Chains A and B, each alone.
Chain A
């Protein structure tokens, strides 16, 4: 209706100069007209220019006086035409606010004589305030003085009125074609798709959010690392044993019993099951000897090795605990070279913060073969890390109780512009391998890193 009226009017006329007048003349609600104008403007059927007007509206007080008359007139009428009335009695006849304002205004207008007794000074008064208020209510313009007198008494407030002036737009048509938002089965069946005009897509916004599920990013990376190991010919170790004995986690690795890592503030020891039930006794004996007095060419650590320490159960602090079991098993058969890997959870008694986790995934790779050298380790690390996108590596001498030599692996981080430690590596010590029963010329090179890092 409003839309048809606007488009129809513009077909014959140059412009609609004031949407307010246009609405009023045709009996439309101005808000409805504004909505239609905005929509037609959006589709460029018309061009709309903002117009603003300052108008005045009555306050609550103003509305009241417009209906009931101004307080001064109410007061005047309460005073008898002849004689006088006591002020107290007059007050009782009127609303307190009306009485207060009425007294001052009627006094100012010299309509009444104020004292203990109140009497009229003139016989007839005109309620000019009420008349003015009614004019404002009906949208008539007032003079500047009239406005300011009403404004001063807080009977009217300004209000900004917004409307439009409207001309034909570039897409003007006497009748709007409704733009389709989508192509439907119905359109195809009816064949009316040819006539359809589509609402333009907004490609500055992204599409709606996807509904599909996702895999965990860390486990996606785990899968990629697993693929890398498999491509490099490594076999996965069974690491589904979080509970481990100190023996396999530490002692078998030639890690002395007073080593700080074996403190309770670094390792989670178990209350239940608190100790391991069995260990391979002859091997335990060889491990004890190598810790206490060495052998296999070593001086040993020269301390009293305690079985109770080795029996303590813990949550494994590294997957190397599994490696030590695997290497021991390997030593029991005629020697065959092996490449092993694992990616699984390990536990450290750490307060969790930005750079520390109490549990994380350790990635470990090891190669066990005759005649392996540090050059092999460096080579395999280059191969492994280049597959992760780190081709610039260098190695720093480091200390690990169970590897010698030990190398920290640093990779150049282009983003940070510096060398960043990415892992640790080394050759397992003879004091670890020989008590297991591996042949003397068998070397084991190994490295580890964290999946989370």
Chain B
């Protein structure tokens, strides 16, 4: 209760500040030049006066020169505090999706600003397209699940291209027919402006889809179908928009214009993809050399993607497709090259930016509603709504009927309903409408667009969740990918490729296999640093998994924890294993261990050296702790045979290429543990990675050495490291290890 009260007061404070500074903004705005002249004059005269009689002003208020960044920062702060606030009201946030709440808040803020007496800011199209949209799309593209996307690519393209064209035509022609009805007062709007309006309003919006679908967790197939469609229809929208705007008041449309339009579509779509791929490859290539300066790795990812977007905007190509292509192409190579911390940074920055963008977009939608003028026409707007809904349903039904003849996994009527219901419109439509030339009935169009957006966001957004529950649509499976699935999927891939070869049929699997081979042979060598270029995918996956486990195990307090979502162990088995894994120490060993720990732990923690912007230095305290852990481990392993260590190669120092992974040791992992508790611990050995390009600088800086699963350099045979969770089968296996 108290926290809610604090939050509310914080919110109110933000709102009041905002209105206040907008107030002063307006009053300054009109007379800014005049005032500036005044102030400088005053300043000079003030100075002279100062020199003579006035005391030096100890406290001054000069808001004008910080106004812009201040207002921007305040808006973002307001948006973030609001987002925070929603989660304090769980009942509200489970019924109403976040986007609705944000639009409402925007309406409230807009209303407040209007009552204060000045114009609230409108969502400007250039701000939207250059600053607010790219983070969301990049976040979507970088983390796009490529496998389901490529498996369903045909379906997605059909929906995106043919579906959008059909929607635009249906709405445009329908509205034209309505406009022709005598007495509606809309006869001035000819066919082409109607078609233009249709093309603006028919595009499914990725921002809205993301905002709503994120919260309902439907199964992967439906999610990727609707989401993929919303991304790929950008090309269609761009072409239609520019084409129709060019030609809308032209005398007549001939075959030439249609052909040019089709050609333009291919240029826009393929050109956008090409630009994205180009920048993606350059980004991957750059990341190959960043091992010496890890701090700026995330920056390259962001900058290259943004450049791809801007470059494609220069040529009026599809910026969204460029961003998606860049993210998808860049990701496998960049992830192989960058450190683990950079990877986390990229992930969290992208999520943060896209979250802020989304919030701002929805709030501004609400504010802009109250800001602009409106021209409400019952007939036009209600017909738009009806045609949009019907057009979408018909389009989806028709396309699915045709597509199901070609698909292996058919789309059920339930799926079709969700796809048609998920056709949400959003801020892209609004911005495109805002950019319209004055020769169109812009205000009417804008009002209609806003109405449709409100309808989809509120009505469809709120009802989709209960509908999903009602229809019992399959939900997203939460489990992580197990190593079983990974192995068997690869196995099946090879098997199917073989069978296709036997049939002589060059299908889907055949080409995928060829692409993989090409990738392995040529591309990986160029774009991935050093040794990791030869690492097979399975090994990389396995190491990622082991790492996650290790982190979980340390974070959870040292008890062996199997991947919970994946393990299908019965409880009985789990307890016996954990019993077996808890080591037993003799009394005197325990005393020795305690003594060592006490000695080492009593040293107070040294202060970190002054922060250097160019390197990330490890905490010096950590080195001591690690050494102590190693000592302790050696002591313990002399006593028992089964210890909990991560698997290590017994081939000594030369760890195979795949074993390098760039985890820095965080201080979190090294909290002092009760030495008496017989908890298994992980030894994390910092050793220099075998990367050719960075061996010199690594040792000095203490930077990013990575976890290398290297053998303990102990000499005695009894300390030979055992396998983690080894097969408790026949005894001769462990004997082998002792002797090898």
Binding partners A and B = no
